[in-house]
Structure 1
């Protein structure tokens, strides 16, 4: 669960795009999964980085270690308590729709490399 002491940062439309974590006299920008985006610094710089980072990265694929192997997944939902991911089916209709729920922050999701060829 995202700590209550972290300050939600909202973009102009009110959507939360990340958090500011106090670090002494500085603030560290944290993404929605609770991962640091940069070293602690001043408030304005941390806010600017969160605005720049925004939410587009949630559309990217991630790798999740499952039973000793990496599973390629996509984020379907993020709350301050959990992230829900789905096996990346590359847009297929039907098939094995497998989901996982992870606590936030967790640290088990890593960015997936781009696909260089169609899997299968």
Structure 2
């Protein structure tokens, strides 16, 4: 199901035309949101600072390893942290591919794809401990 973004979310594109996020009015200032729909500035900032935050972040983080907490897969019925890589991001949703042992892109790896809502849920986090 496609997420309809509020009208006040303003797409921000880098020079090559790729959308790297959104800038959202917050009082007299702005908040930046990354391609996953997550807040990229901790507090409201001026427009230029919001643009700079998105430009600096870019899309490179999408190539990083992530961890997805999957409910009900742990031995005690709790969540299991599964290594994943992001395969696709849009406001329609986020697709991740399981990446046990770094084999997500190997032919015949049997990697599982998991569809997540947009914006990304808190159960998806960077493998290096960052949000």
TM-score interval, smaller chain:
0.7 to 0.9
Deviation at residue 108 of structure 1 after TM alignment: 2.1
Matched, 1:7 2:10: yes
- RMSD across aligned C-alpha pairs, in angstroms? 1.6
After superposition, the Cα gap between the structure-2 partners of 1:20 and 1:104, relative to the gap in structure 1 and judged at 3 Å, is same
* Structure 2 runs not aligned, ≥5 long: 72-78
Matched, 1:96 2:96: no
TM superposition outliers: structure 1 runs of 4+ over 6 Å: none
- Aligned pairs, number: 114
Provide TM-score, normalisation by structure 1. 0.87
Matched, 1:57 2:72: no
The Cα offsets for residues 81-109 of structure 1, whole Å up to 9 and x where unpaired, read as 21100001414331322011111112321
The Cα offsets for residues 15-45 of structure 1, whole Å up to 9 and x where unpaired, read as 1001111111111111111111112110011
Give 3-state SS (helix, strand or coil) of 1:113's partner. coil
Provide TM-score, normalisation by structure 2. 0.80
* Alignment correspondent of 1:46: 50
Separation in structure 2 between the aligned mates of residue 52 and residue 46 of structure 1, nearest angstrom: 10
Conserved 8 A contact 1:82-1:104: yes
* Alignment correspondent of 1:112: 127
* Structure 1 runs not aligned, ≥5 long: 115-120
Conserved 8 A contact 1:73-1:86: yes
Residue from 66, 69, 82 that aligns with 1:71: 82
Deviation at residue 113 of structure 1 after TM alignment: 2.8
Separation in structure 2 between the aligned mates of residue 107 and residue 81 of structure 1, nearest angstrom: 17
